[in-house]
Amino acid sequence: MLSEADRIEALEAAQKLVACLSENSESSRSESTRVLALRITNHVIRSLEKPEDGLMKFAYSPTIWMAIRTCVQLNVFNILVEKETTSAREIAERSGADEALLRRLLRVLTSYGYVAEKGDGLYGVNKWTKHMQNRLTQGMIKFIFDESMPAITAAPEFFKDNGFQNPVDPRNGPYQKGLGIDVPIFPWLALPENKERWDAANTFFEGDRGSRPSWVTWFPVKDELLSGKIDDLAPLLVDVAGGRGHDLMEFLDQFPSVTGKYVLQDQQQVLDSAISLPPAVEKRAFDFFNEAPVEGAKIYFMKFIMHDYADPEALRILKHIRSSMKKGYSYLVINDFILPDTGCSLIAAEWDLMMLTLMSSMERTESQWRNLLGAAGLSIKGLYQPPGDGQGIILATL
C-alpha cells in the first residue's frame, strides 16, 4: 500500500514535472529542461517505488547488460532493423544461436522496452533497437561490458585488500585485479593480441559524448579563441590524443570558413585507423607522457584525456603541453566534466566511478581543476558549463 507521505511526495514531484514541460517556449524544449525533467521523473519513480523492489531491480539489472552484449555479438539488433517484424526462428537461423536462448534474452529486452514485442516469438524495432545497431553504440557496449565488468566485480575486494584507499596507481587498481594484469589499461589494450578490444575502445571514444551537445555548438569559440591575430605558420588547433579525429572534424564542420593548419596527435596505431580526415588535417604520432605536442598552436584541445589519469600522470601531460604553448597567444581547451560539490548529475557521478575502476583516475571538481592546472604552471581563464548535464570546458593559458 502507498503511504500518505509517499503519495504526497510523488504528487508534488509529478506537478513539478507537468509544470516543467507545459510551457510552450523554446526554453521548455531545451537540453537543460530535458535533463531537469528526467531528474524530476526519477524523483516520482523513487517516491512510488518500494525500497525492497527498487533494490532488487538494481541487483538484477546486470542481466540486461549481459543480454544486450550477447545480442550485439550475435548481430541481433542489425537483423531486427532490416524489417518491421522478425521471428525468433529467423534470428536463430541467421545468428546460429539456439532459439530458446534468444527468446530468453529478448524477453528481458522487450520487458525493458529496448526491443518491440509483436507477438509470441515475434519482434520489431523501436528507437532503442535502432540505436543498438549503431556502430558507435556497439563500440560502447563492447568496451564498457568487456573492460568494466571484471573491474567492477573485483572492486570491493580490491578496496578491502588496499585498506579502502582511493586508487591512484594506473598499474594497480580494480581493472588490474579483475583481469590479472599489472599494466595500465591503454598499454594493455594496445597489445596486438587485444586488437578487437582496442578497436572497440576507439570506436566508443568517437561517440562517448552521447547525445550531449558538442562544445563547438555552445562555447563562444570565436570570441574566446579566434579573436585577434592568428599565426598562419603555426597550427590553429592541435587535437591532443584526439583518437580518430572526431572532435576535430566537429570543429571543422562548425567553422568551415576558419582557415588554418590542423594537427591530430595520438599513438601511431590509433592514427592509422583515422581514415576519414580531410587534407587540412595533418596526423602526427607522439607519446604525451614523454613528448610535447606541436609547438606554438593557437588552441590545444583535449577531450576526456585528463579524466583518464590521476594527478601525477596528468601533471606530466600538462607540463609537456605547457612547454609547447606560446605566452599571450596559446590556449589549452579541456573538454571534461566539472563536478559540482553538491547535486551532481547521475551520469557524471557514474562516469567518475568508471574512471576509478578502469583507470584508477577521476572526474574533477572546480577546485581540483584549479589545483591541478596551477601545479602545471597554467592559469584558468574560465570554466564553462554546457546546457544539461554534459562535459564542461576548462580554458587555460600560461
Sequence letter at residue 325: M
**Nearest alpha carbon to residue 296 among 211, 217, 234:** 234
Annotated catalytic residues are 307
Nearest-angstrom CA–CA distance, 28 and 17: 11
C-alpha 87 chain-centroid distance: 34
Evaluate whether 236 touches 297 at the Cβ level (below 8 Å). yes
* DSSP states of 181-248: --S-HHHHHTSGGGHHHHHHHHHHHHTTTTTSPPHHHHS-HHHHHS-S---TTSEEEEEET-TTSHHH
Number of C-beta neighbours around residue 19 at 10 A: 11
Sequence letter at residue 366: E
Cell 523513487 -> residue: 46
- Phi, psi angle pair for 218, to nearest 5°: -125, -25
Number of C-beta neighbours around residue 220 at 10 A: 12
Evaluate whether 76 touches 102 at the Cβ level (below 8 Å). yes
* DSSP states of 56-120: HHHHHTHHHHHHHHHHHHTTHHHHHTTSSEEEHHHHHHHH---HHHHHHHHHHHHHHTSSEEEET
User: At what angle are helices 99-112 and 62-73 packed, to 10 degrees?
Assistant: 130
Nearest-angstrom CA–CA distance, 333 and 393: 7
Farthest CA pair distance, the chain: 72
